[in-house]
Amino acid sequence: MSKRRQYNNLSAQIFLVHAFQYLLTIQFTKGCFIVDVKFQNVSLAYDNVNNILNNISFTIPEGQLTCLLGPSGCGKSTTLNLISGLLSPTGGQIFFGDQNVTKKDALARKVGMVFQNYALYPHMTVLDNICFPMKMAKVKKADRLKRGRELAALVHVETELSKKPNELSGGQQQRVAIARALAKSPSILLLDEPLSNLDARLRVEMREEIRRIQKETGVTTVFVTHDQEEAIHIADQIMVLNEGKIQQFTTPNRLYDQPDNLFVAKFIGSPIINTIPFANVRDDFKAVVPTRVFSDGVTVAIRAESIVPATDPHDHLTLLPLSGTQVQSNRFGRETSLSLNYGGHTIIADGFREQDLGRNGKPLQFALRPQGVFVFNQSGERVWPETIATNVSPIKPTEVIHA
């Protein structure tokens, strides 16, 4: 698809882009009202026993891409189905804008949905698939074919219109599914793990595509995933869910820089954040943490890139110097991974260059950066640092990891 387009000359491309954007502003402001989604004390229980969702309230802002992120069984797909109307809550209210939609069914809520397996109608052509919601809405044939073609162009499947879904690649099926979901000018676009059936490379490509389509259409989008990296790359804000409760709901970088609790800290970021029982290393932190934290702290968590050599040029920014024992070091292309024994635990550091490494089994001096080090209390809540000024760090940790 993109290869074919490379051969077009630049001016034609620019013209097309402008023409296209013009088209979009016409198409997507017409009949499409962009709304926010509000949950007020929503609960869902099966058989009045198992609480899938427990009294949750949030607002998904309009016109943005929001990710619902969490491990399987955390309630993220349930939340999505509650938004779509395929499930009804056992308690609480759901609003689209000012409208209470709690009692409305899926059709009346006018949501577009993309399923994990795309759920394309196998016996219909691509164009018929895209046009189906409009056919159901009794849009005139000429109008719906015209709009079907426009949507196909938006998602770049305009050359596949007469094919059946099983003749398409996974990425193309995905695009068709998105076009079909957009066909009824939905107030909200819902995507349920849309990338999990694609291979790694295509997944990255499609996530950029979804981002682009969302930006161009401006439709409020909710994206469910269990992949934290995917969520960080695609979302305007992320809601982390676990065991039917919202753990934290904020922007991707804030989620990474200021996790509210141990669950979020561990769930976001790769490699997984190092955790050490605070009791083992309490004395090392005596100088930097307040007395209250000194007694309340149960777990200290340190991001791998926050562990730096003691001789780091950013020395003036380091939090405190520490010493441990080098266990093992590996280099994977441009990454290094260093295992350290510190406080009786093996922790991973990836901020070391090869020349900073010592010998395995020998003591190693290192330092901690001020950001990416957190102390959590017994119930897993962050007790230190209490608030983090966002512009302290000259290097944003997310950029270090995911550049």
Partner 1 sequence: MTKKRISQALLIIILTLGAITMLVPFIWMLSTALKTAPETVKVPPTWIPKHMQWQNFVTAWHAAPFLTYFINSLIVTTVTTIGQLFTTILAAFAFSRLNFYGKNFLFALFLSTMMVPGEMLIIPNFVTLSKFSLINTYGALIIPWLASFFAVFTLRQTFNAIPNELYYAAKLDGSSDWHFLWTMMVPLSKSAITAIGILEVIGSWNSFMWPLIVTNTAKVRTLPVGLNAFTSDAGTQFQLLMAASTFVILPMIIVYLCLQKYIIAGISKSGLKG
Residue whose CB is less far from partner 1, 107 or 279? 107
Q: Which of 74, 101, 113, 152 binds partner 1 (CB under 8 A)?
A: 113
In the complex, least distance from residue 377 CB atom to partner 1, rounded to whole angstroms: 42
Residue whose CB is less far from partner 1, 177 or 349? 177
Q: Does 100 bind partner 1 (CB under 8 A)?
A: no
Stretch that binds partner 1, among 25-33, 103-111, 209-217, 364-372 (CB under 8 A): 103-111
Q: Which of 77, 84, 185, 306 binds partner 1 (CB under 8 A)?
A: 84
Q: Does 136 bind partner 1 (CB under 8 A)?
A: yes
Q: Distance (Å, rounded) from C-alpha 125 to C-alpha 141?
A: 15
DSSP state of 188: E
Stretch that binds partner 1, among 46-54, 92-100, 109-117, 384-392 (CB under 8 A): 109-117
Stretch that binds partner 1, among 11-19, 92-100, 117-125, 333-341 (CB under 8 A): 117-125
In the complex, least distance from residue 117 CB atom to partner 1, rounded to whole angstroms: 6
Tokens of residue 35, six digits: 């709304």
- How many residues bind partner 1, per CB under 8 A? 20
In the complex, least distance from residue 358 CB atom to partner 1, rounded to whole angstroms: 54
Residue whose CB is less far from partner 1, 222 or 273? 222
Q: Does 137 bind partner 1 (CB under 8 A)?
A: yes
Stretch that binds partner 1, among 25-33, 105-113, 312-320, 365-373 (CB under 8 A): 105-113
Q: Which of 76, 144, 156, 184 binds partner 1 (CB under 8 A)?
A: 184
Residue 5 is which amino acid?
A: R
Tokens of residue 154, six digits: 């938006």
Q: How many Cα atoms occupy the beta-carbon half-sphere of 190 within 13 Å? A: 23
Residue whose CB is less far from partner 1, 177 or 238? 177
Q: Which residue has the tokens 């046009």?
A: 131
Tokens of residue 249, six digits: 């709901």
In the complex, least distance from residue 312 CB atom to partner 1, rounded to whole angstroms: 51
Q: How far is CA 345 from its chain centroid?
A: 30
Q: Which of 15, 22, 46, 121 binds partner 1 (CB under 8 A)?
A: 121
In the complex, least distance from residue 380 CB atom to partner 1, rounded to whole angstroms: 35
Q: Does 202 bind partner 1 (CB under 8 A)?
A: no
Q: Does 32 bind partner 1 (CB under 8 A)?
A: no
Residue whose CB is less far from partner 1, 138 or 316? 138
- Short-list 80, 79, 93, CA closest to 39: 93
Alpha helices in 95-163 (DSSP H): 106-109, 126-136, 141-154
Q: Does 112 bind partner 1 (CB under 8 A)?
A: yes
Stretch that binds partner 1, among 26-34, 108-116, 209-217, 221-229 (CB under 8 A): 108-116
Residue whose CB is less far from partner 1, 184 or 226? 184
- Short-list 382, 368, 375, CA closest to 278: 375
Q: Quick one: which H or E segment has residue 11?
A: helix 10-29
Residue whose CB is less far from partner 1, 182 or 302? 182
In the complex, least distance from residue 173 CB atom to partner 1, rounded to whole angstroms: 13
Whether 327 contacts 346, CB under 8 Å: yes
Whether 246 contacts 239, CB under 8 Å: yes
- The secondary structure of 278-341 as a DSSP string is HHHHHHHHTTTS-HHHHHH--EEEE-GGGEEETT-TTGGG--EEEEEEEEEEEEETTEEEEEEE
Q: Distance (Å, rounded) from C-alpha 185 to C-alpha 133?
A: 10
Q: Does 103 bind partner 1 (CB under 8 A)?
A: no
Torsion angles phi and psi, residue 31, rounded to 5:
75, 0
Residue whose CB is less far from partner 1, 111 or 301? 111
- Short-list 188, 135, 127, CA closest to 152: 127
Q: Which of 96, 132, 342, 366 binds partner 1 (CB under 8 A)?
A: 132
Tokens of residue 217, six digits: 């259409």
Whether 377 contacts 296, CB under 8 Å: yes
- Short-list 266, 261, 232, 231, CA closest to 246: 261
Q: How far is CA 281 from its chain centroid?
A: 33
Q: Distance (Å, rounded) from C-alpha 374 to C-alpha 262?
A: 9
Residue 367 is which amino acid?
A: A
In the complex, least distance from residue 135 CB atom to partner 1, rounded to whole angstroms: 9
Residues of this chain that bind partner 1 (CB under 8 A): 84, 86, 106-107, 111-113, 115-117, 119, 121-123, 132-133, 136-137, 180, 184
